[in-house]
Chain A
Amino acid sequence: MLQIIIFSILLVGGFGFFFYNVLKVRRNILLGKDFTPEGPLGPRVVTVLKVAFGQSKMVTRPLSAIMHIFVYVGFILINIEVLEMFADGITGRHRTFSSLSFYNFLIAFFEILALLVFIGVVVFWLRRNVAKVKRFMNKELDGFPRLDANAILIAEVLMMTALMLMNASDQVLQSRGLYKVAGSFPLSQFIAPLFNGLSNESLHIIEKSSWWFHIVGIFAFMNYLPYSKHFHILLAFPATFYSNFNAKGKFTNLDTVTDVVKPNFDSTYIPKEIDPNAPPIPFGVKDVFDLNWKQLLEAYTCTECGRCTSSCPQNMTGKLLSPRKIMMDTRDRLVEVGKNIDKNGGKFVDDGKTLLGTYITPEELWACNTCNACVQECPINLDPLAIIVDLRRFLVMEKSEAPPELNNMFSNIENNGAPWQFSPADRANWINE
């Protein structure tokens, strides 16, 4: 009975706190500007199925793709076993689903999955900590992000181990006639002999504490998600749903600029932003409020995998720019803004910080080639480049702080119709040279 009560508290508290945090993240994301997804529903759903569900963009790096599939498929399917654990927890029964005709198959299958998860996680850990794969070594991962990645890997190893220990002790108890015979254990049968010498009491303790460890672990993991890069396991789905379907070379058009420029050329043009009483909208992006909510959603979704950064020509040649850092900075700033709002009774109070400047420096922004390698590489279709360009727009149009050479280029275009100092009258001279 006590077990049922404790479990129920855990269940309600676990889900309650999780939803509380999810709503908070949602509120933060909606601090962003409007965003209207382009393109029809069908292709969006297909993209979610292919890219998020089917992991189609992972394959470019085969080893991590396979290991990630192990962990990902294992994670999803082992949750079916967690469902049984929930049922056991609420009813106080043992192996509630054991009357199912394919129960033996299920348990065996989960054990194999657990092993695959185990292998995947160990390989991931080795890649980060022993092989020191370059994209996991960048500065922006120092501190919490690196800890975050390793903590979850270790937690997963422990959870999978708990699952095996639970099954192993269960088998011994089954063989002693103390538990109902159920399940088939292709892997934990090799651990079971180690437990043969233990007393019934000890076995009970191992079985129960493994069970509790796993179930508490599940709730802990779930509630840790909103603070971690692992949030991607949920947000990858909406993020890919809102993927950009335009050619990657198409940068957004600023309607606020069109409203100023176009009437000079086209007297019939009706400005889109017609409300003269609305506060003026700044050109470009200075802080998270100026980004649109899709970009903020992407910041929360970033897996910090660093594929973008490892393919960035400027990063690989030692420049400060790292597209992953752009995403991480955006998230960190948004989280900071969210805390500010919580502390000040629902209203943001100026803290003297901004995404541009405090987090992301002009030196990083001006290094970008706008080459789209980061966008191409991202396994979940995130777009660091869009944020970079929006921040550049603010620097240029609101602060006139472009590098001097670029200001020269601008005035050449303005005066000569070319980025260099040539006379427009000489434009066709090449014909006779």
Chain B
Amino acid sequence: MSEALNVPTMADYLAKGETPEILFWVGCSGSFDDRAKKITKAIVRILNHVGIKFAILGMEESCTGDPAKRAGNEFLFQMQAMQNITVMNGYNIKKIVTGCPHCFNTIKNEYPELGGKYEIVHHTQLVQELIDQGKLKVNGGTFKGKKITFHDPCYLGRANEVYEAPREVIQKLDVELAEMKRSRAKGLCCGAGGAQMFKESEKGSKEVNNERAEEALSLNPDVIAVGCPFCNTMMTDGVKHFNKEDKVKVLDVAELIAQANDL
């Protein structure tokens, strides 16, 4: 791991009278969840490494309202959305990157109608772009030759039809990308979406995350790659359920890139 993280806020930029190229929307999970914070840092390392001028909102960022919206609390959602839109429009934000497909979906699809119109990309799309432009050179490092399977997050995949960016990034690591039978448009949910993350599941015969982890583990992968902090939690729990946590790692695509390249 290299030097300390450089993470300026929008307020810092404003004080200097400058504008960053892109806003990094961290999200609640990326800000507060211990596992997800590591993903956030991996994203920052990549951004620092290529020298993009980016900023976060810091304490001015608030929940996008996604879990409220999915749970049917449109009031709370719109309150959150308006609050964030007011802040972002105040800073004249044009472009956003986020590590969370739920934030991505909400800002991309549901903020415009309320007056928040931005260009937003998922971090895997940004990484792919950086690689394609030659700004980020990657090699497989310790992952070279390893078997990796990618779990499509519902809100990146089906909801927004981003299927290729994460896969192309993973393939840059010289690994064997193994596909689950239920992938891309047929990808199976990890069980977190629709506010399920925040409640116990209903009575049934199995937990959704175990169903999905079982499918991923059946490929005998070295790594289950994910692109969403909530999928990360669910898949990690699923892998633990089958006592495979010593053999199989659950890592975000950003972590793969950062770790392989000692960022």
In the complex, the answer to whether B82 meets A370 with C-beta atoms within 8 Å is no
- Mask, A410-433, CB within 8 Å of B = 1, is 100110011110101111101101
Of the stretches A81-89, A184-192, A316-324, the one at the interface is A316-324
**Which residues of B184-211 are within 8 A (CB) of A?**
185-186, 188-189, 191-208, 211
**Which residues of A377-433 are within 8 A (CB) of B?**
389, 391-397, 402-403, 405-406, 408-410, 413-414, 417-420, 422, 424-428, 430-431, 433
State which of B62, B76, B154 has its C-beta within 8 Å of the C-beta of A410. B76
In the complex, the answer to whether B203 meets A319 with C-beta atoms within 8 Å is yes
Q: How many A-B contacts are there with CB distance less than 8 Å?
A: 217
Residue among A250, A260, A403, A413 with max Cβ neighbours from chain B (10 Å): A413
In the complex, the answer to whether B194 meets A370 with C-beta atoms within 8 Å is yes
| Nearest-neighbor residue (CB-CB) of A426 within chain B | B32
> B9 an interface residue at 8 Å Cβ cutoff?
yes
In the complex, the answer to whether B201 meets A247 with C-beta atoms within 8 Å is no
Contacts of B207 in A (CB 8 A): 317
In the complex, the answer to whether B158 meets A425 with C-beta atoms within 8 Å is no
Q: What number of B residues sit within 8 Å (CB to CB) of A?
A: 73
In the complex, the answer to whether B113 meets A369 with C-beta atoms within 8 Å is no
| Nearest-neighbor residue (CB-CB) of B101 within chain A | A249
**Which residues of B57-80 are within 8 A (CB) of A?**
58-59, 61-63, 65, 67-76, 78-80
Say yes or no: A409-B74 contact (C-beta < 8 A), given A253-B113, A258-B114.
Answer: no
Cα A389 to Cα B72 in complex, Å, equals 6
In the complex, the answer to whether B115 meets A249 with C-beta atoms within 8 Å is no
In the complex, the answer to whether A410 meets B188 with C-beta atoms within 8 Å is no
Cα A283 to Cα B65 in complex, Å, equals 17
State which of B58, B76, B113, B199 has its C-beta within 8 Å of the C-beta of A366. B199
> B56 an interface residue at 8 Å Cβ cutoff?
yes
Contacts of A368 in B (CB 8 A): 194
Contacts of B82 in A (CB 8 A): 261-262, 264-266
In the complex, the answer to whether A427 meets B32 with C-beta atoms within 8 Å is yes
A334 to chain B, nearest CB (A): 22
> B172 an interface residue at 8 Å Cβ cutoff?
no
- Mask, A48-75, CB within 8 Å of B = 1, is 0000000000001000000000000000
| Nearest-neighbor residue (CB-CB) of A365 within chain B | B72
> B261 an interface residue at 8 Å Cβ cutoff?
no
B116 to chain A, nearest CB (A): 11
State which of A316, A371, A430 has its C-beta within 8 Å of the C-beta of B40. A430
A357 to chain B, nearest CB (A): 15
Residue among B76, B82, B194 with max Cβ neighbours from chain A (10 Å): B194
Of the stretches B103-111, B124-132, B137-145, the one at the interface is B103-111
In the complex, the answer to whether A419 meets B72 with C-beta atoms within 8 Å is no
State which of A247, A363, A373, A413 has its C-beta within 8 Å of the C-beta of B63. A413
> B37 an interface residue at 8 Å Cβ cutoff?
yes
Cα A331 to Cα B75 in complex, Å, equals 29
In the complex, the answer to whether B31 meets A405 with C-beta atoms within 8 Å is no
Cα A255 to Cα B156 in complex, Å, equals 26
Cα A187 to Cα B10 in complex, Å, equals 78
State which of B62, B74, B192 has its C-beta within 8 Å of the C-beta of A257. B74
State which of A247, A369, A393 has its C-beta within 8 Å of the C-beta of B208. A369
> A196 an interface residue at 8 Å Cβ cutoff?
no
Cα A266 to Cα B81 in complex, Å, equals 13
| Nearest-neighbor residue (CB-CB) of A417 within chain B | B62
State which of B80, B193, B204 has its C-beta within 8 Å of the C-beta of A317. B204
Contacts of B113 in A (CB 8 A): 253
| Nearest-neighbor residue (CB-CB) of A372 within chain B | B158
In the complex, the answer to whether B78 meets A247 with C-beta atoms within 8 Å is no
10 example contacts (A-B, Cβ-Cβ < 8 A) are as follows: A250-B105, A253-B113, A265-B85, A317-B207, A366-B199, A402-B72, A406-B71, A409-B68, A427-B31, A430-B31
Q: List the 10 closest pairs (A to B, CB-CB), nearest first.
A: A249-B159, A318-B205, A392-B72, A370-B194, A417-B62, A250-B109, A318-B204, A371-B189, A249-B105, A405-B199
Interface residues of B (CB under 8 A from A): 5, 7, 9, 26, 28, 30-33, 37, 40-41, 56, 58-59, 61-63, 65, 67-76, 78-80, 82-83, 85-86, 105, 108-110, 113-115, 154-155, 158-161, 185-186, 188-189, 191-208, 211-212
Interface residues of A (CB under 8 A from B): 60, 246-251, 253-254, 257-258, 260-262, 264-266, 283-284, 311, 313-314, 316-321, 363, 366-373, 375-376, 389, 391-397, 402-403, 405-406, 408-410, 413-414, 417-420, 422, 424-428, 430-431, 433
Q: Can you name 8 extra interface pairs (CB under 8 A) apart from A251-B110, A319-B201, A427-B59? A: A247-B109, A260-B75, A261-B82, A363-B202, A428-B59, A430-B30, A430-B40, A431-B7
